[in-house]
Structure 1
């Protein structure tokens, strides 16, 4: 079973949410059971109460599940920095590391916490070579990071434009 964990509005028309939806749609089209789970609030601005609620929800996911975890959640949710359930296969989906997000620059301890969490992951999905190089520059192994470019399904090439002759 595969679960995509995210925070925020999954229907938002932003690159990150659209990308995450493409992954889920692709899995479902290929008869892979995939479910989305919304966690409270936008990380790392989460209250202690919300962190505990999120942790209970994560712990309730069945053993041996694959957890695709949006990077807004993964780097700042403390549970991912521990071996809370070794049977869960953790795979963060990283658009850009949180520590590079200007909105979170005030959190001086974010980078080491986020990197500690990445080291607990079984594998890491990134959206670009740029992001992969950033994570490798922080000490993560090349073989533990895969690039899955946005746009999972090939788009048909339109050749019949109105202005063509």
Structure 2
């Protein structure tokens, strides 16, 4: 292997968990001396046009033959089987979460994506999954042999413990993630609409341009529930602002319907935040039970009950905060993640 050509579609700077994972791999490899480079692919994935597929084919086929192709699943999962078969023997597929499991898809679109990703994965020499849950899905539903899958969980950086809100101030709830259907923010707002008599504020940090209709519907829902002065849609923010939001939070909330891993959960753990999350996808396993109160995804009543319990019980918040802070010591670091992925790529010999 001469180098890792890391093929990633779209804008690598976008504030999503998947792109953050990809950025950190490239940054860690640069520090480790691992020969690698970013191969930019068109931004239309997972619904590329014929022109974008042709451009992708040209970009990938122009790579030196002794390079290993690490291809982000946002692109690889949408490759027609003919393209995937033509790259057999050279590809390591990185799967954050299967494309067909994204919320908000029509049944026909979901089925088409699942079938295409299943076919493409047959031709990958190795597969990187970002959680044990995703690995199990790939084995059971996508028929990927277990021996070809390596789990490389996202790393997390050490961070100072959150100080929370001042005494007597509203409790600060924090949610982080793009405003897309899968994140379940409509369920969270519905749950909070029944808790207007409690003293809380919610900040949702996440890009609003990935699913504009969802973002607009969420803003309308907040206004309709009379929560405009209590729920702040902060949009995408820089790292300094994000760190300040974590530091000032009292409770981290993740209402996602499905997560391939849930990087924001480990970021909350790293700051010693008590967590309320769903059991959607890998989220049930990412946060320890002692640190996180967990409810079924899509269940506004269960989420409301969890919120009520944690808002009213400072002692439970403190116990879960201590458990989160303790658990942070055992979280993987990004150097560990980058090493696992690089070693997997090194075992693929074009």
The alignment's TM-score, normalised by the length of structure 1, stands at 0.85
Q: Deviation per CA, 1:49-101: give whole Å up to 9, x if none.
A: 1111111111101102111111110011225421x245x52111111011111
8 Å contact from structure 1 (residues 2, 34) kept in 2: yes
Aligned equivalents of 2:60, 2:127: Cα separation in 1: 18
2:97 corresponds to:
96
Q: Conserved in 2, the CA contact under 8 Å of 1:98 and 1:104?
A: no
The number of equivalent residue pairs is 156
State the distance in 1 between where 2:8 and 2:104 align. 18
Q: Following TM superposition, by how much is the alpha carbon of 1:128 offset from its aligned partner in structure 2, in angstroms?
A: 0.6
2:148 maps to which of 144, 148, 152: 144
Q: In the alignment, is residue 33 of structure 1 matched against residue 31 of structure 2?
A: no
Alignment root-mean-square deviation, CA: 2.0
Q: 1:53: which partner in 2?
A: 55
Name the one with the larger helix percent: 2
Aligned residue runs from structure 1 range 3-152, under 5 A: 3-78=5-80, 80-82=83-85, 84-86=86-88, 89-102=90-103, 104-105=105-106, 106-107=108-109, 108-138=111-141, 139-151=143-155
Query: What is the CA–CA distance in structure 1 between the aligned matches of 2:87 and 2:114, rounded to whole Å?
Result: 23
Structure 1 pair 134/85, CA: closer, same or farther in 2 (3 Å)?
closer
Structure number with larger C-alpha Rg: 2
Which secondary structure state, in structure 1, belongs to the residue aligned with residue 5 of structure 2? strand
SS of structure 2 residue aligned to 1:102? coil
Would the alpha carbon gap of residues 103 and 44 (structure 1) be closer, same or farther in structure 2, given more than 3 Å must change? farther
> Unpaired segments of 5 or more residues in structure 1?
none
What TM-score, normalized by structure 2, do the two folds share? 0.42
Distance 1:103 1:26, change over 3 A: farther
